[in-house]
Structure formats: C-alpha cells, structure tokens
Structure 1
C-alpha cells in the first residue's frame, strides 16, 4: 500500500480528432519527462501507477483495445514510451474528470492513497477537472508542469494557476514528484 498514486490521464490517444495536431505538438514536449516518471513509479513499491483513459464513446472497449488503438494511431511515437505494461491498472472514463463515473475513488481508498500526481492531457480540461475532483475528495494534488500537455497555451497556464491557487495543488517539475 502506498499513500501516493501517479495518474496517467488520456495518454492512450490515437490523435485522430479535431485538436489532435495542436495537442500532439505539446505532447511531444512531455513524453520524455512523463516516461521517466512512469518508469520511476514502476520501479517503486510506494507509488501506485494508474492509467485513466477516455473510452471515446466505445463502451465495449477493453483496456487492451485502447492501448492497441493508440499504438496504431496517427502518433504511436507519443504512446510507445508511456504505454502501460502487462498487468497495469487501466480504467476508462467517459467525461473530463478521472473520477466521474469511474471506480477511481474506490480504488484510491482501498489503496489508502492520500496524494495524487496528475499527468497527461489536456491540462485545461481533463487535468483541471480531475484536480478539482481530487481536491474536493480531500486528496493532496501534485501536477508536474512538464508532464501535462495543453491544447491552448494560455488556457493551460491559467489551469495550472487555478489548480495551485484554488486547489492547493503543488505545481512542480516531473523530476521532483518522486524524491
């Protein structure tokens, strides 16, 4: 059991949607620090690694389908370094928040998690809403600014500022998340 969970949000993306090009350009910048953070979490017993990904409206999709679709998508080089290993915890979500209509809160409670580290995409949407839902559930929130990607730079920066100010989120570099 650990008191920290690293949440990887919406990184299993085929990049075949209207904002894909703008988003992918920003994801390129976060892949390496995020992959390093994921690898560090995998090597430790005191951090729970959990992938939470949109099901893109396919309610028959298994986690392996999401991984395969992302790896077969338009930008597999953005997925390959962060793809979940066999046996990874993967849950699907249907809206912006990693908590909305998912078993995430139940899992975090069972694992006795107190702090969530939010990574992935999109800073001004899914990361922001997940941070709010974590905060109202009394989790400590940490967001590595170099392991979250935005579509709109201004909105991404505003979302980070809101998380820090309104949700007491700790905004840090990825290398500072798991000392």
Structure 2
C-alpha cells in the first residue's frame, strides 16, 4: 500500500467486517418463491447481527448483484425493491443500508470478482469476514472460496444465510466448515468483541 487512505478518504479500520450479500433483492426470479420465507428469517437475524456489529465498531459492507441492470446503481435497486410490490420488499425494508454502511456492486456470484471489495478490505485492515445473505449454495459459497484463498478467516452464521432448499443450505455450510474452515456458529452466539480483539 502506497498510502494509508483511499484518495484522501480514510475508511473505517477494523480487523472484522460484516458482509451482507444480495439481500437488497426483488426476489422476482424463477425459484425465488421458495427463497422468500427462509430469506426473511435470515434477514431478521442479520438485522440483529448488524445492530450488534455497529455497536462493536464492525463496519458493514453491502455487496449486491446488479442483476444485469448495467445502467442502474444501488440507490435505484434499493428504491425498486422498496417502492414496488415485489417479493423482496419486506427484506429490503428490514435491511435498508444506513449512510455509514459501505456498498459494493458485483457483476457475478463472488463478492470479490471484478469488484472493489478486496481493495476496501485491505485499506480497512480486515482479517476476518462475517458472511451473511443469499444464497448459501451460490453467492455465499463463491464469496467464501475467494475469501479463503485470500487468507481471510471466515465466520458464516448458519442462521444468517438462506437457500432455495434447506438441504442446499446445509450442504453448503458443511462444505464451507470442512474445506474453508468457516465458523458457522449462529449469530446470537458470535462473540463480536473477541473477533475485534
């Protein structure tokens, strides 16, 4: 790193970051009818974890797919999910970002692929990631793989991820725990103070 900040804008500095992946989502795609209920349940746990994380000084980063809308931005996506009668509206309402939160737009499954996430984490000094969101067996899994090869320690609370089927979620969590050494402790049992130490 040549400088300690990003063009004069020093981001938060913390050993841990909370990633909220693809939760600002209209859920208007094939298969999403099966995803709504488990995602809403996960969203409730994520909202509580986010509140605890902010209190602990852990920065929150929304990493969201642009869903092929190359002329839109995150604000447009959020407004679409909040203003229209879409399946994902209650989730977007529950997890709408705060002004202090970071936003990274991703074009594909992984939070790292063709995004600014790695640079942001580097400047923040992040060594541990808490991954939350959808879907456990695709975007969470791809992001976890990419985090692992970057030597980031992984925490993936089992109650803060969802998939179209419970078996898909459990299979993904088992894989990430075994191969990626991810801690899948439920969010209520995560000791955020020790993660920050």
Aligned to 2:36: 24
Equivalent positions of 1:80-119 (< 5 A) are 80-119=93-132
Aligned to 2:16: 4
Aligned to 1:145: 158
The 2-side partners of 1:25 and 1:135 are apart by 29
Aligned to 1:48: 59
The 2-side partners of 1:21 and 1:74 are apart by 8
Aligned residues: 178
The 2-side partners of 1:25 and 1:127 are apart by 18
Encode CA deviations 1:114-151: one digit per residue, 9 max, x unaligned: 00000000000000111100000000000000010111
Unaligned runs of 5+ in 1: none
Report if aligned partners of 2:21, 2:62 keep a CA contact under 8 Å in 1: yes
Aligned to 1:129: 142
**Bigger Rg, structure 1 or 2:** 2
| TM-score, with length taken from structure 1 | 0.95
RMSD of Structure 2 on Structure 1 (CA)? 1.2
Encode CA deviations 1:68-102: one digit per residue, 9 max, x unaligned: 12223333112211110124211110111101110
| TM-score, with length taken from structure 2 | 0.86
More strand by proportion, 1 or 2?
Answer: 1
Aligned to 2:3: none
The 1-side partners of 2:124 and 2:43 are apart by 27
- In the TM superposition, what is the alpha-carbon distance from 1:59 to its structure 2 partner? 1.6
- In the TM superposition, what is the alpha-carbon distance from 1:159 to its structure 2 partner? 0.5
